[in-house]
Amino acid sequence: MTIKNIDHQTLKKWLENQEAVLVDVREPAENAASKIDGSHLLPLASVSLKSLPKSDGKKLVIHCGSGKRSYNACVKLLAEDSSLEVYNLEGGISAWNAAGNKVESSGKFFLPLDRQVQLVIGLAVFLGSILGYFVDPLFFILSGFFGAGLCFAAVTGYCGLAIFLAKMPWNKNVATRSFSCATK
């Protein structure tokens, strides 16, 4: 089980020659903010062999924002079928865009989910510390709660806050407003 990484130049050539099917494993709101033309949205949590778009003998390329989630998607797919030929776009859409390749953009500001998690935790720890110092020491529990949550997420790979934030309307409605058939 080996994951094959490709660079943006190889992907561009494959897409121009219609040799590849591109799957975006980012969240719907991220995809709505910017996407590579012709990519198919399939969030990482939904990735499975059954959920993949038909490739009709074309190469299957997975991408995300930076290459991390797409790598995890490749691992997930290869765990289901070790003979599957799947490629990971190194650097994700960030590398694609930085190289000057075309990206469809809505032009709207979007804060990625991981940064939303960082913002919420940072604010909670900051407020817990300030309120604990100036109002009541019991507010320090708030900082401790979020610190423990970070430790739990690091050890298990499960972040309840990220799942909660992904279900918030501002992370859902961006996709459904932008694409008419996104009502699954």
Give the active site residues. 64
- Which amino acid is residue 40, in one-letter code? H
At 133, the amino acid letter reads Y
Could you tell me the two tokens for 80? 């289901």
Q: How would you label 132-163 residue by residue, b for 16+ Cβ within 10 Å and e otherwise?
A: beeeeeebeebbeebeebeeebeeeeebebbe
CA dihedral 49, 55, 57, 58 (to 10 degrees): -120
Q: Which two tokens stand for residue 128?
A: 């817990």
Please, what's the largest Cα pairwise distance for the chain?
65
Tokens 């991981």 correspond to 114
| Nearest CA-CA partner of 8 in 69, 75, 74, 98 | 98
